[in-house]
Structure 1
Amino acid sequence: MKKTLITLLAMSVCTLAMAQWGEEEMSDKPTFRERIFTGGGFGLSFSNYYDFISVSPLIGYKVTPKLAAGIQVQYRYTKYKEFTPKFSTNDYGISPFVRYSIYAPIFLQAEYEYLNYEYPITTSESIRKTYNSFLAGGGFFQPIGRHAGFYAVAMYNFSYRAANYGEVTPYNSPLVLRVGVTAGF
């Protein structure tokens, strides 16, 4: 029970994190450095069935105080404990995104996600597939100090297709929710 509670807490707080970005004032002629923002996320989850680690740094560019574009890379490691011997998989991907601040702290976001996903089917065999997804939705960003903030994002995966019998997909729903605390660099 304790492990499950720790897993749920880690999944809800330490999922993918957005970079620090909002509707900050920009000088009349901002430098390139003033327009750049960075951040990322780190996720951990441990249970009796699997261990999960996720790292997802990102870099973005403020085109205007309200419009930003960027790219996020991700790596996920999963160790499945239900197999004997234990089996691990590695997923990786890249997601260019565009974000528009409607009215601080509310924003709209669209992103394309390329994900190379691996899933075990037996103790010695796995399936590796590439998924391309177009996601769009909105979110809320609340700064917590200079280099941190809380965010919640709900996006719809317009490329979602339910898996047929025997198929595997990285998403079990077209709705993608991300909640967490930023990790600005």
Structure 2
Amino acid sequence: MIKKLSLIALFCLLFVMQSFAQREYNALGNDRPAWVDKIYVGGGLGGFGISDNQVWVNVSGQVGYRITEKWNAGVGITYQYFKYKRPIEQSFNDYGVNFFTQYVVYQPFFVMARYEIFFLDQIDSRATYDTFLLGGGITQPMGGKGFLNFYALYNVLYSDGGDNGRYDSPWVIGMNIGIGF
């Protein structure tokens, strides 16, 4: 696990160093480097559910970088809250980090890969789960630097009958929003 995180951190560091090397001035002629215009932030409500027996909320944030006009990559964080009322009231606070890349094949369609590491509350401990999601979706530009994505991803590490953390299906359907600087 430490080796995986070290390799991912090294990749991110090299990625950021390459980004800082692109010092140019934007079209307005001010002193803002061009790489700043390629950064975006966003997030989404990954899910919300309430019933007579449970409450579930999933929120996330992300920071991304437009490597080219069609290709971007970044890192995100996720927080999930679960509360079960029966048979015994229990609540769980889960969190995780993810690394993603997305490529627009033909506007508005994109393909996407996302690797997630989740730390999940158990009744008497905390467990770690990895997921590797592949899929695609549709992107809708909003204004000059914003977007709205709808996607369907498949968890290739999902195991029928195995322990898949909080995932009860290999399919992950979601949406996120982003705003550029």
TM-score by length of 2: 0.71
Q: Verify: 1:170 aligned to 2:173, yes or no.
A: no
Give the match for residue 68 of structure 2.
64
Moved more, 57-66 or 135-144: 135-144
- What secondary structure, in the 3-state scheme, does the structure 1 residue paired with 2:37 have? helix
Which structure is higher in RCO with an 8 Å CA cutoff and minimum separation 6? 1
Displacement of 1:51 after TM fit?
1.3
Give the match for residue 132 of structure 2.
134
Distance 1:134 1:97, change over 3 A: same
| Structure with higher helix content | 2
- What secondary structure, in the 3-state scheme, does the structure 2 residue paired with 1:34 have? helix
Displacement of 1:163 after TM fit?
2.8
Distance 1:181 1:99, change over 3 A: closer
- What secondary structure, in the 3-state scheme, does the structure 2 residue paired with 1:172 have? coil
Aligned residues: 149
Q: Kindly report the root-mean-square deviation, in angstroms, between the aligned alpha carbons of the 2 structures.
A: 2.5
Displacement of 1:144 after TM fit?
4.5
Unaligned segments of structure 2, at least 5 residues: 1-25, 28-32
Q: Deviations over 1:115-139 (max 9, x none)?
A: 11235xxxxx356321111111111
Q: Distance in 2 between matches of 1:171 and 1:81?
A: 20
| Percent identity (aligned) | 35
Q: Distance in 2 between matches of 1:175 and 1:44?
A: 17
